[in-house]
Structure 1
Amino acid sequence: MNSPLSTAPHASAEALARAIPQPINPVVDSAAWVERLGRAGARFIQLRLKDLPAAALLAEIRSAHASAKELGVCLVLNDYWQIALDEGIDYIHLGQEDLDTADLPAIHKGGLRLGVSTHCHEELARALACKPDYVALGPIWETKLKKMAFGPQGTERLTEWREMIGPMPLVAIGGITLARAGACIAAGADCVAAVSDFIRHPDPEGQVKAWLAATTRS
């Protein structure tokens, strides 16, 4: 399925380097994981924090940001766009429900780079209207980490999204393991995200290296 937005099968290497520094995107739930996976070589890490008191939340974000700056990590903060603006975080990632209340003009004016989750054609159209720096599609496979309103999208949908969004970076997420990561790249994703396969693995540092080997195009 083509659209007027389709201008290239993949983002150029230069464009991707500006937007997404690496083809893997560990999603973590603490500043400690940002430091640990950053020291292992991850350079595009998403921090997803839930249900923390305001003071603890800010302290955790500041700690993660400090580690990211020290290690050369591009930090993606979920949801808290105002804090991201105030603290100078690299990226903010918003779900569709977050778009209802986010101040998109302030986000763009403040220089924040923006990622938006999508699960269907309607959500993709809404995301593209926000002028994001990347879009994420998921869940590619079934995931048990959180209840999803949408079923597995499959790698075929990645290819469809790739054709529709042209050179904009595309991130795959949801039920992805090391064994599945390469298939996402082959289907058109520029970057592959995961939670459990990093932070619940017995050798997270080894996983960073293995994922990079599985997703880096020769």
Structure 2
Amino acid sequence: MSTLPQAIYPVVDVAQWVDRLGRAGARFIQLRLKDKPAAAVVAEVRQARQFAQQWGVCLVLNDYWQIALDEGIDYIHLGQEDLDTADLAAIRAGGIRLGISTHSHEELDRALACKPDYVALGPIWETRLKKMAFGPQGTAKLTDWKARIGSLPLVAIGGITLARVKPCLEAGADCVSAVSDFILHADPQAQVEAWLAATRSAGVQPQHG
């Protein structure tokens, strides 16, 4: 059965967060870069990769699949719109693992046809970080998704806070992801430790990808 490196999955917007959260014990971190020139993206990715190597972090790059290939990143995460243009054969040939966002049964079917290494469902709760075409999915949909995908890892994202970690895992998620609950927290390092403790209390064992 495929597994993910860890049951928590912070999403960050600059490379420096890979250092801070990796130092605190996070081992599965997505770098999500938006609206940056290509040269700036490459610079951030290279710095993030250095921090990831330092702390044993499995690094995920959002959207920029060609840069992920060029720079030897562990995972690429694609949205549904990215599937229109991404070269999935090149991604596979490059040995990069693949995660795909889903929001509906149709999108899940499309994602599964791409043979991803995990699928993400969201937003589970309302989120204000970005405008979403889909409303809150709720934890019951996690249970539905898990029944459909079986052993394929399921990531829950969208509006997830520390108090919501355990309900997501109990509903069927294998991994819980968040942006603001880490990078906007007063003590991000302590928050990583608290999320890890919450996964342990939910009975999630450490994973190795």
TM-score tier by shorter-chain length is over 0.9
Distance in 2, Cα, partners of 1:147 & 1:56? 24
Instruction: Give the aligned length.
Output: 202
Question: Residue by residue, what CA displacement relative to the aligned partner does 1:126-162 show, whole Å, maximum 9, x if unpaired?
Answer: 0000000000000000000000000000000000000
TM-score, normalisation: structure 1 = 0.91
- Find the partner of 2:95 among 111, 116, 119: 111
Aligned residue number for residue 79 of structure 1: 63
Question: Residue by residue, what CA displacement relative to the aligned partner does 1:4-60 show, whole Å, maximum 9, x if unpaired?
Answer: xxxxxxxx5xx32xxx11100000000000111000000000000011112111101
Aligned residue number for residue 170 of structure 2: 186
**Could you tell me which amino acid in structure 2 is paired with residue 200 of structure 1?**
L
Question: Secondary structure at the residue paired with 2:70?
Answer: helix
Aligned residue number for residue 171 of structure 1: 155
TM-score, normalisation: structure 2 = 0.95
Aligned residue number for residue 150 of structure 1: 134
Gaps of 5+ in 2: 205-209
Q: Which moved more, 1:54-63 or 1:113-122?
A: 54-63
Question: Residue by residue, what CA displacement relative to the aligned partner does 1:87-137 show, whole Å, maximum 9, x if unpaired?
Answer: 100000000000000000111111000000000000000000000000000
Q: Which moved more, 1:46-55 or 1:182-191?
A: 46-55
Question: Residue by residue, what CA displacement relative to the aligned partner does 1:58-93 show, whole Å, maximum 9, x if unpaired?
Answer: 101100011101110000000000000011000000
1:93 equivalent in alignment to 2:93: no
- Find the partner of 1:124 among 105, 108, 125: 108
Q: Percent identity?
A: 75
Question: Secondary structure at the residue paired with 2:136?
Answer: coil
Distance in 1, Cα, partners of 2:140 & 2:57? 31
Gaps of 5+ in 1: 1-11
**Could you tell me which amino acid in structure 1 is paired with residue 14 of structure 2?**
S
Distance in 1, Cα, partners of 2:135 & 2:76? 25
Distance in 1, Cα, partners of 2:142 & 2:38? 37
> Over aligned residue pairs, what C-alpha RMSD do you find?
0.8
Runs of 4+ in 1 over 4 A off after TM superposition: none
**Could you tell me which amino acid in structure 2 is paired with residue 213 of structure 1?**
A
Distance in 2, Cα, partners of 1:173 & 1:202? 21
